[in-house]
A and B are shown apart, each in its own frame.
Chain A
């Protein structure tokens, strides 16, 4: 028969085993959650690594693109441009000898004009491919020069302001080139697609970032629709890709008939 001390032993054994069981359940809950947390952190780290690799690949691709632009510009300027100049000189000599024949002289002058136009085009393409002003004089002056050129070729009016940035202030080469290319893209979009009459560009330096505001009074667009369209959203995605390399952000506010406002922030 069971006496009271045996009963105490049985109940104590039961209690100990029960506590061990409950302890095991609690341990499994806590341990599993910790393991899960670790797994998510590892996945997050992997994703960050993957993003960083993509960013580096994109950066390399953009660098290669710029190098290729330099090569093409150099070839155009040094080889095609030089050849055209020599052809023009040779043609001038030929034209002097043909002064007596009136019809031939008229044709000759037309051909010389075509040659001059070709030389001018080669120079322009060469300059556009590589913004030499950017490399030599910095962002503000090169943007200014670019806007003046576009202004001459279009009917739109441009306003360019720079606050907190002096005309000769220099930034990281990648940042300068990215902003310059973005301005080219935005101005091109505003003139080509938006039919803007007034374009305002503002570059501001604020502590440790550059803020670039671009506003036009064009016809605007449905941002969400353009963003999700693989064909028409290409320019926007290109700008985002370029910005991702330098950890910049872009915000576009637009609606049909209400113009477009683009805000770009780049850490420096």
Chain B
């Protein structure tokens, strides 16, 4: 698979980059970044399991769904911390996370990638990012936004969600078991992996900027 889809391998390797940076600067990690590190560790564990099952030629769409389910839960927790300056926003985050989690449970599939659940998750994540960006531009507490880790976290989630939302929305045509191999390779093997790669790079920047947090927030 790695030779046929080099981007898949690259995306999986890149997932280690933010973890390495986080461990290297672990003393300066804020609570949000610790949650993000936890998110990445669970992601990497599921990714390894997916690689192992794929190598053994076992069906593993359910692993992908469980990974997304766990990821959504941690993302909700992460944004609950990120928007902690507003109780209303925290309530919105809890509500949307619960809706997404329940949807993931009810629409769970062992055989196929749960495309509609993924789509809703991406829409919920975009909403979280909107809430966070609203806080950034109304509270004006950050002196340099480019050195603010939560901004890079939101930028990563937004680009990943925007880039992959349509793939999951039309999952029956793009990444289902009935999709043509070439199209599956295009959407999942290339485009999705490219966004995972971008996502991981942006999260690495978030961890790297954690050293500026103290002098950057008023």
B179 at the interface (CB under 8 A from A): yes
In angstroms, Cα B139 to Cα A35, docked, is 10
Q: Determine if B137 is an interface residue (Cβ-Cβ < 8 Å).
A: yes
Interface string of A1-32 (1 = CB under 8 A from B): 11000110011011001101110110011011
Give, as a whole number of angstroms, the nearest-CB distance from A171 to chain B.
Answer: 45
Task: Decide if B15 is an interface residue (CB 8 Å cutoff).
Answer: no
- Asked whether A21 lies within 8 Å of B133 as measured between CB atoms, the reply is no
Q: How many whole Å from A27's CB to the nearest CB in chain B?
A: 9
The count of A-to-B residue pairs whose CB atoms sit within 8 angstroms is 67
In Å, the complex CA distance between A198 and B167 comes to 90
Judging by beta carbons under 8 Å apart, are B174 and A28 in contact?
A: no
The contact of B162 among A11, A18, A28, by CB within 8 Å, is: A18
A-chain residues with CB within 8 Å of residue B143 when the two chains form the complex: 36
Instruction: Let me know if B173 and A29 touch, CB within 8 A.
Output: no
Residues of B within 8 A of A10 (CB): 166-167, 170, 173-174
Question: Which DSSP category, helix, strand, loop or mixed, fits chain B's interface?
Answer: helix
CB-nearest residue of chain B to A34: B137
Q: Does A44 contact B (CB under 8 A)?
A: no
Residue B177 lies at the interface, judged by CB distance under 8 Å to chain A: no
- Greatest chain A CB density within 10 A among B162, B163, B174 is at B162
Q: Looking at chain A's contact residues, is the secondary structure mostly helix, strand, loop, or mixed? A: helix
Is the Cβ of A21 less than 8 Å from the Cβ of B137? no
Given contacts A17-B165, A36-B143, contact A2 B174 (CB under 8 A): yes
Which residue in chain A gives the minimum CB-CB distance to B183? A2
A159 in contact (CB, < 8 A): no
Of B136, B167, B173, B183, which contacts A14 at CB under 8 A? B167
Instruction: Choose from A17, A20, A31 the contact partner of B137 (Cβ within 8 Å).
Output: A31
B93 to chain A, nearest CB (A): 18
A window 134-166: CB within 8 A of B = none
Option from A7, A13, A18, A33 in Cβ contact (under 8 Å) with B159: A18
Selected contact of B158 from candidates A2, A21, A31, A36, CB within 8 Å: A21
Chain B residues 165 to 218 lying within 8 A of chain A, measured CB to CB, are 165-167, 170, 173-174, 178-180, 183, 191
A20:B162 contact, CB within 8 angstroms = yes
Q: Could you give 28 example pairs across A and B, Cβ below 8 Å?
A: A2-B173, A2-B174, A6-B170, A6-B173, A10-B174, A13-B166, A14-B162, A14-B166, A17-B162, A17-B166, A20-B162, A21-B126, A21-B162, A24-B133, A24-B158, A25-B155, A25-B158, A28-B136, A28-B137, A28-B151, A29-B146, A31-B137, A32-B136, A32-B137, A32-B140, A32-B142, A36-B143, A39-B140
Which B residues have a C-beta under 8 Å from some C-beta of A? Answer: 126, 133, 136-137, 140, 142-143, 145-146, 151, 155, 158-159, 161-167, 170, 173-174, 178-180, 183, 191
| In the A-B complex, the 6 residue pairs with the closest CB atoms | A21-B162, A2-B173, A14-B166, A17-B162, A13-B166, A21-B158
A1-B173, A6-B173, A21-B158 given; name 12 further pairs at CB < 8 Å: A2-B174, A14-B166, A18-B163, A21-B126, A21-B162, A21-B163, A25-B158, A28-B145, A32-B142, A33-B145, A35-B140, A36-B142
